[in-house]
Chains A and B, each alone.
Chain A
Amino acid sequence: MSYVGEIVHGIRTLLTGMAVTGKYFFRARKEIITQQYPDNRDQLRMFERFRGEVVMPHNENNEHRCTGCQACEIACPNGSIEIIWDRKVDEKTGKKKKYIVKHIYHLSMCTMCNLCIIACPTDAIKMAQNFENSVYDRSYLTKVLNKPGSKLMDGIDE
């Protein structure tokens, strides 16, 4: 290509590219996908399957579904879950039965792999859609999932 030809060709390719950006410059409003994140917190809805952290739902009587079976602890690949359990006499049957003392969850180590949720036989835990987990100290990320004074729902068995 001649010297002048190359200059013309160069300018033409530059203009082709600039036509693309120019198009967006004038009709950008239609294709904005940026979200004004902290300002739009109220409208922000995460997808229902989004994995944010492990939580244990309780009903209005402060009852949960966790029997303390430790299946989630075994399924967890990195030891994020620690189960402290004990046995006590069941009033109805009179037999000694396992119950959960503390379901300790280390959010700081959790990789959100969902294996514990799948492993739980009684669906006692689930994934919450919360993703704002920054805190000032790592110790805040160690949580006890069963609320103080909570007990097992009726009719749940291992």
Chain B
Amino acid sequence: MEEVKQITLHPQGRTEEYFINMGPQHPATHGVLRLLLTLDGEIIKRVDPDLGYIHRSIEKMTEHDTYRQIVHLTDRMDYLSAHINNEAVCLVVEKALELEVPDRVKVVRTILAELTRIASHLLWWGVTGMDIGALTTFMYAFRDREMINDIMEENCGARLTMNYNVPGGLMWDIHPNFQRRVKAFIKHFKTKLPEFDRLLSDNIIFRKRTEGIGVLSAEDAISFGVTGPAARASGVSCDIRKKQPYSAYDRVEFKEILDTRGDTFARYKVRIHEMWESLHIIEQLIDNIPEGDYQVKTNAVIKLPKGEYYQRVETARGELGVYVVSDGKKSPYRMKFRSPGFSNLSVIDHVARGYKVADLVAIMATFDFVIPDIDR
């Protein structure tokens, strides 16, 4: 907080606080999010996020959609983890119906979820570099992400809003080219990932912009409900894939990436390592996709038994919880999504205080907000 002292030594002996709007249309907010900053000079005194610019009331819409239709709405929450969101809804429906899906479905879902995670982290890596001023990273990240998008497009029929999961399995069987393409991607990406480190991670300017900036302690991460890579960078072990394994995560071997520094650079590092781990998971599964059905038959109209159901999954940003209250009808009585973005945003005021406006951009970048996920 030395900077604050310097500012109070103003010639007139005092400074005045003032407000500034960051967003709703601002390149660093990655969507329509408005941050109301209270500043003293360039030092941040307070950050008030103002949400709702892209609110579509998805939770309300679920109350008159059938369970099959709800799946495709979740594509539009965290659009970079669309497949994982779909999976969460399907898992909660399957849990309520006590449906055991075939192994083939579990494995394919896991592979696609990890591909989604890599694609999401790749986009994040590109825009983080760009937010901090390194434009090249964006091009490199999109080059590799394009390969995943092609896999998704060939196998699921869409690049972002896949809607490939249906309650009880998958919409179609995997495409004949799927395994070959995924293997080609792994081979390609393994040569590119070290390049990312050389290009950005070790760069002196990037290090100076990120190290020691926006420190989040483990206690604060827990009390604010921060999850995902942002919490793991502070040393909070919170990976749902480890804690409550779903799909095929119990049959693969992978490490939960933890860091203890809790600063912007630690959050960056955790995500880079997570991409390696995701590659490792896919490698274990891609040659061992079990034979079997890609779907179990469900009734045309799915009705969940009366009761409450909850399922957590790990998206690229953290913990997504789906809570369903069913009264036995074909639509849920209430459906609540606990989205990782919303909880992670709540900590931004706490983390950004005392740093400069330019640091806020770096902090925002490594929390990796997806605004439709925050607003829903």
Contact = CB atoms under 8 A, between A and B. Distances in A.
A16 B154 CA distance: 37
Contacts of A111: 72, 161
Given A113-B72, A113-B163, A118-B171, A20 B198 contact: yes
A72 to B, nearest CB: 13
B157 A51 contact: yes
B202 A20 contact: no
Contact of B158 (A16, A50, A77): A50
Contacts of B143: 31, 33
Contact of A77 (B65, B157, B203): B65
Nearest to B150: A47
A9 interface: yes
A75 B172 CA distance: 18
Contacts of B65: 77
A155 interface: no
A10 interface: yes
Contacts of A46: 153
Contact of B202 (A16, A50, A51, A115): A16
Interface residues of A, number: 25
Interface string B186-204: 0000000001001110111
Contact of A47 (B154, B163, B166): B154
B155 interface: yes
B69 interface: yes
Given A75-B68, A77-B73, A113-B163, A49 B155 contact: yes
B203 A14 contact: yes
B336 interface: no
B204 to A, nearest CB: 4
Contacts of A17: 198-200, 202-203
B136 interface: yes
Contacts of B163: 113-114
A46 B150 CA distance: 10
Contacts of A115: 68-69, 72
Nearest to B200: A17
B146 interface: yes
Interface in B178-219: 195, 198-200, 202-205, 207
Interface residues of B, number: 30
Nearest to B143: A33
B158 A112 contact: yes
Given A16-B198, A111-B161, A21 B136 contact: yes
A127 to B, nearest CB: 7
A77 B69 contact: yes
B329 interface: no
Contacts, number: 67
Contact of B153 (A10, A47, A75): A47
A84 interface: no
B55 interface: no
A61 interface: no
Contacts of B153: 46-47, 49-50
Contacts of A51: 157-158
B266 interface: no
Given A49-B156, A49-B157, A112-B158, A14 B204 contact: yes
B297 interface: no
Contacts of A112: 157-158, 161
Given A14-B203, A50-B158, A114-B157, A20 B175 contact: no
A52 B136 CA distance: 32
Interface in B113-156: 136, 143, 146, 150, 153-156
A156 interface: no
A13 interface: yes
Contacts of B195: 20
A115 B154 CA distance: 18
Contact of B204 (A10, A77, A114): A10
B162 to A, nearest CB: 10
A20 B191 CA distance: 12
B157 A127 contact: yes
Contacts of A109: none
A2 to B, nearest CB: 15
Contacts of A89: none
A13 B203 CA distance: 5
B180 to A, nearest CB: 14
Interface of B: 65, 68-69, 72-73, 136, 143, 146, 150, 153-158, 161, 163, 166, 171-172, 175, 195, 198-200, 202-205, 207
14 contacts: A14-B205, A17-B198, A17-B202, A17-B203, A20-B198, A21-B199, A47-B157, A51-B158, A112-B157, A113-B161, A113-B163, A114-B157, A114-B163, A114-B171
Interface of A: 9-10, 13-14, 16-17, 19-21, 31, 33, 46-47, 49-51, 75, 77, 111-115, 118, 127
**Which 5 residue pairs spanning A and B have beta carbons closest together?**
A77-B69, A113-B72, A49-B157, A10-B204, A47-B154
